[in-house]
Amino acid sequence: MRKALVISCLLAVVALLSFKSGRLQFAIPKGWPKPVYDFAKNPLSQQKIDLGSMLFYDPVLSRDSTTSCASCHSQYNAFTHVDHDLSHGIENRIGTRNSPALMNLAWGSSFMWDGAVNHLDVQSLAPITNPLEMDETLPNVIRKLQSSKRYTAMFYKAYGDSVITGERLLKALSQFMLTLVSNNAKYDSVMRKQAVFTEQETKGYTLYKQHCASCHAEPLFTNNSFENNGLYVDNTLNDKGRMAISKNKTDSLKFKVPTLRNLKYSYPYMHDGRFKHLGQVLNHYAMGIQRTPTLASQLQKGIFLNNEEKFLLLAFLGTLNDKSFVSNPSYGYPKKNFEPNEGL
């Protein structure tokens, strides 16, 4: 009896130690600001990241097991979708916005195009319960996961026991998403002095700093603020952006400034995916700006660029594409965790 007790105590200590030693340090790229996300409240471990990755790619999170997070956030597209402007969810229901590319979320201070969500750990609840996206409830998801040996084993590995709770599930999803750091574009190599810009890219960089950097600020290429960049209002969607959340008139038509990283992979652009090409985006800033009361002051006169300047700016934007991000196998479908005949 006593022996059994001693052994089980020892086992518990070993489990605790290996559990603790699984802790990982979040690597902050050199020269980048401190992350906004508080890792002390959700310490990273490989087991939790693996669990988060498995959940991210698993359609079990949707009511009819057809739609995973990755259905709308695919790695090859810098974790957005490219085949349509507005997102498509369960039973092909069409959403009201374009899914944003997911990267560098540890530095995000608010989420969604209108900042409706202020913490990454609750973000995943929104798509799971949105009738146009996954149309499921958290208790149901938990019930489904509890009946899976694979998941109870993974929760055990991640948390030291196999209890599945909403908080654990959401935090594991956050952990996977927090690892999606894109900092290996040519721009980053140049900043690390491991590469140099071509003459055209250098000139494009100057144009970017003149016209775009006040909102799309380095090194994340967003300042995380909400701005009205002069898009005409789509009468069908009639999306007022930030105002729907803050109820403040001065926020009408303001949307979260998106990053300019990985644009090669993340088209179409803007909150409703209205532009398919970067040329259209530049034409918008030159000639399409709508003068409404909340238009950003920097854009009052538009940003007129001649053809050569457009070419140079596009050359610079090209240096923000990070091929290693969209091809990194550790962000991809978690093959190693899916055993045939072992599923739900």
User: What are the residues binding ligand HEC (CB under 6 A)?
Assistant: 56, 61, 67, 69, 71-73, 87-89, 95, 97, 99-102, 105, 108, 111-114, 123-124, 127-128, 133-134, 173, 177, 211-212, 214-216, 227, 229, 231, 255, 257-258, 260, 263, 266, 269-271, 278, 281, 285, 296, 298-299, 303
Decide if 226 contacts 282 (C-beta within 8 A).
Answer: no
Minimum Å gap between C-beta 254 and ligand HEC is: 7
Minimum Å gap between C-beta 82 and ligand HEC is: 11
Residues 6+ apart with CB under 8 A from 215: 222, 223, 225, 227, 229, 257, 296, 298
Minimum Å gap between C-beta 195 and ligand HEC is: 22
Minimum Å gap between C-beta 151 and ligand HEC is: 15
Measure the CA–CA gap between 216 and 2, rounded to whole angstroms.
Answer: 64
When the beta carbons of 161 and 256 are compared against ligand HEC, the nearer one is: 256
When the beta carbons of 81 and 157 are compared against ligand HEC, the nearer one is: 81
Measure the CA–CA gap between 290 and 229, rounded to whole angstroms.
Answer: 8
Minimum Å gap between C-beta 11 and ligand HEC is: 34
Measure the CA–CA gap between 125 and 38, rounded to whole angstroms.
Answer: 19
Residue 150 has which token pair?
A: 């694979």
When the beta carbons of 158 and 212 are compared against ligand HEC, the nearer one is: 212
When the beta carbons of 138 and 190 are compared against ligand HEC, the nearer one is: 138
* CA 217, 310, 204, 286 torsion-angle sign: negative
Minimum Å gap between C-beta 274 and ligand HEC is: 8
When the beta carbons of 194 and 238 are compared against ligand HEC, the nearer one is: 238
Measure the CA–CA gap between 212 and 196, rounded to whole angstroms.
Answer: 21
Output the CA–CA distances (angstroms, integers) from residue 251 to 100, 163, 224, 296, 302, in the order listed: 20, 42, 14, 11, 20
Measure the CA–CA gap between 320 and 264, rounded to whole angstroms.
Answer: 9
Minimum Å gap between C-beta 213 and ligand HEC is: 8
Count of C-beta atoms within a 10 Å radius of residue 285:
19
Decide if 41 contacts 322 (C-beta within 8 A).
Answer: no
When the beta carbons of 8 and 330 are compared against ligand HEC, the nearer one is: 330
When the beta carbons of 72 and 164 are compared against ligand HEC, the nearer one is: 72
Decide if 54 contacts 334 (C-beta within 8 A).
Answer: yes
